[in-house]
Chains A and B, each alone.
Chain A
Amino acid sequence: MQCCVCKEKPATVHFTQIVGEKMQKLDMCEECAKSKGINDPSFAMADLMLGLGASQEIDAAAAGVQLKCPRCGFSQTDFKKSGRLGCPECYRTFSEGLSGLLKTMHKGTRHIGKAPEALRKTRDNVDRLKTLQTKLDKAIAAEDFELCAKLRDEIKVLNSGATSKVTR
């Protein structure tokens, strides 16, 4: 039997998953199995086979419900059909399924670059807080209490400042 991924080497890893009433089988060589993370307990075969958020979809289908955007009613099936989302809110609704897709599509998964002026300050503050927090953690680990105190003060100032809520 041949590996179903590389179609070259003989399949030595056989994987069977039963979801609801469906049974799926995969036969792979050692290497491909490893690269697909079969040993990883969180591995979802459906994602590998069907792409974006398929396992969630199957889970949901098995439970008789489908993930839908609460704002616009867009479903995962709709995304599969069109490759487009329904509304800005959909990015939150389907974030789990999308994150893998974004990774393969783009340079990174976090936006770098322009932001609307109104959010720019908040955005900078969030970034600065993050760096300060990492510095603080390091300082604590290093038992540099003088630096700790200084960083804590800076964080306090940033937090008390006009940090309006980050909205979507």
Chain B
Amino acid sequence: MNDLHAFLISPAEATQQHGPHDRIVMSSRVRLARNIRGLAFPGWAKKNERVKVLETVMPAVSSMPEMSDSFSEAMDNLAPADKQILVERHLISREHAAKSVGSGIVLNREESFCVMINEEDHLRMQALRPGFQLREAWQAIDRFDSELEKKIDFAFDNDLGYLTACPTNLGTGIRVSAMLHLPGCVLDEQINPIIQSVNKLGLAVRGLYGEGTEALGNVFQVSNQMTLGESETVIVERLEKVLAQIIEHEQNARERLLEKKAKVVLDHIGRAYGVLANAHRISSKETMNQLSLMRLGVDMGLFPNTQRTLVDELFLVTQPAHLQRQVSDKLTAEERDLIRADMVRERLKNVARPVTKPNGGKAN
């Protein structure tokens, strides 16, 4: 058995990682899909073929300089709860968590590179960065890919580019995405028009855990959809431009809310604090939504002596698998709601209730 938990950065440390604009852009990610020439894609390959791919790809990936200190494991050696922890950390997809024999993961110590082996494609390699750092993430994964292609013969066609299991990823195989916290746009009821105009630009807006998930805690993922017919840099630059605009919208929305609907905002944030600091049973969903409002309160200077990292850490450790991890007994959802409430109350014990005069939200 592996020791995933000894390897993973603690939730407290994880929330200490900062990047530009991380008030609004929580993290940046660039993912490349790659496959091996001449071999069936994971969804069609037989079990022994998948195992063979895993056995050749995993050592090749682990031997990369970026992976000098890394965690590599076959998915069938990970407990369901551990896979769920990786999903909650946004290191693997929910689809990958459902995989077993013949699939694997290689993750580096800083959690800035993570490769999924035999997800939908033979390789899904991702570079992750805190804050708004799409370009840096692209450059990092580009270098990684260029080194790895010396060891693995990737399926590539002169006209169609990198060949992927799903035609939607064909060509560059790139998915550039950012996770955004947009409570201002949601409260100001601007989020739907924003989503619509972002969609019109050929970009997708998804919820917290990607495809087909809800925007819990006002967290949205924006990413490119088209991968063929445009270069990686063009795609990255478009995302950068769109994100810069969304950041501006969110900042304006927050300012406008304080100016025009101060009471509404103060009420939302005050109630969120009230619930979190006093609840005795609370679901994961409600926790996330209330923490989102508290995070907004911190950004607006309503909790002068509280760091955003406290809220961010709670956001992570109150999710089901992280919560389960902290107690020895197997919990039911009902029991988790009680323990979650205890934990949140305890953490907020020394957080004073929000002040009633926002101080402009200058802190970053």
Contact = CB atoms under 8 A, between A and B. Distances in A.
B154 interface: yes
B44 A106 contact: no
Contacts of A86: 40-41, 44
Nearest to A52: B167
A165 B39 CA distance: 20
Consensus secondary structure, chain B interface = loop
B171 interface: yes
A87 interface: yes
B38 interface: yes
B312 to A, nearest CB: 34
B158 A123 contact: yes
Interface stretch (A27-35, A114-122, A144-152): A114-122
Given A88-B35, A98-B167, A116-B154, A111 B40 contact: no
B194 to A, nearest CB: 22
Interface string B141-179: 010011001100011111111110111101110100000
A115 B149 CA distance: 10
Interface stretch (B18-26, B227-235, B294-302): B227-235
Interface string B310-329: 00000000000000000000
B360 interface: no
A61 B264 CA distance: 64
Given A85-B167, A91-B160, A112 B154 contact: no
A71 to B, nearest CB: 7
Nearest to B43: A84
A113 B176 CA distance: 15
Contacts of B226: 105-107
A113 B166 contact: no
Interface size class of B (residues with CB under 8 A): 35 or more
A117 B146 contact: yes
A109 B40 contact: no
A89 interface: yes
A110 B229 contact: yes
Given A102-B167, A102-B228, A84 B120 contact: yes
Contact of B166 (A83, A88, A109, A123): A83
Contacts of B230: 107-108, 112-113
Q: Which of B146, B163, B166 has the most CB of A within 10 A?
A: B163
Contact of A115 (B35, B37, B161, B233): B161
Interface string A65-86: 0000001101000100011111
A101 interface: yes
Contact of A111 (B154, B166, B229): B229
The 8 closest A-B pairs by CB, nearest first: A108-B229, A111-B161, A107-B229, A88-B155, A113-B231, A106-B228, A86-B44, A88-B163
12 contacts: A72-B40, A85-B41, A87-B40, A88-B35, A91-B160, A98-B167, A107-B202, A110-B228, A111-B170, A113-B231, A113-B233, A114-B172
Interface of A: 71-72, 74, 78, 82-89, 91, 98, 101-102, 105-119, 122-123, 126, 166, 168
